[in-house]
Amino acid sequence: MAIYPVIKYGHPSLRKVASEITDFGEEIKALSAGLIETMQVNSGIGLAAPQVNILERVFVIDLSLINEDLSPSVYVNPRIISSASFDVLEEGCLSIPGVNADVERALRTVVEYNNLNGEIVQEELEGLHSRVFQHELDHLNGVLFIDKISVLQRKMLEPELKKIMEAHSIA
């Protein structure tokens, strides 16, 4: 397995739309294992491939942080079919370290994705699982959680965002 460097706010790959995955061979399995390891080493609950500068439609969620009986899960070519009941909670992101903001997301979603064998899976997600799925799916579409906050909140975060860009030589 490999631990990937997590790219930070300001890196152009975080704003690009990731490509659909059509080959479910060893490459996607190795990438998924590396994403899980990278997420865990960085104490994250989720990680999308674009956050490690790989523009593929795959992300991982550490379900053991939601329910200790579960293990990390991989979502390939994910999409939301429907959503209901919205709530606001604070979010953060491994690519925007030290920055948190309140984001409105659906409490319940029906999602569809491919597993690592390429089979289509459909399931209903609730609570934190639904929220993390939506956050990571946004990464596959070049959207960051700070894009979903008010103009005033964003303005207040600008100094921190600028520091992240400067610290990672993305100015």
- Please indicate whether residue 136 is annotated as part of the active site: yes
* Beta partners for residue 74, in sequence order: 60
Token pair in block for residue 94: 């491994």
> What pLDDT is attached to residue 170?
61
Local structure of residue 110 (DSSP, 8 states): E
> What pLDDT is attached to residue 68?
86
Residues 6 or more apart in contact with residue 91 via CB below 8 angstroms: 100, 101, 102, 103, 131, 135, 145
DSSP string covering 34-67: HHHHHHHHTT-SEEEGGGGT--BSEEEEEGGGT-
Among 26, 37, 68, 136, the active-site one is: 136
Which fold would CATH assign to domain 12-167?
Peptide Deformylase (3.90.45)
**What is the chain's pLDDT, residue by residue, as a tens digit (171 residues)?**
689 999 999 999 999 999 999 999 999 999 999 999 999 999 999 999 999 999 999 999 998 888 888 899 999 999 999 999 999 999 999 999 999 999 999 999 999 999 999 999 999 999 999 999 999 999 999 999 999 999 999 999 999 999 998 887 765
* pTM for the full predicted model: 0.94
Length of the chain: 171
> What pLDDT is attached to residue 82?
96
Radius of gyration of the chain (CA): 15
- Give me the residue spans of the domains in the chain: 12-167
> What pLDDT is attached to residue 70?
85
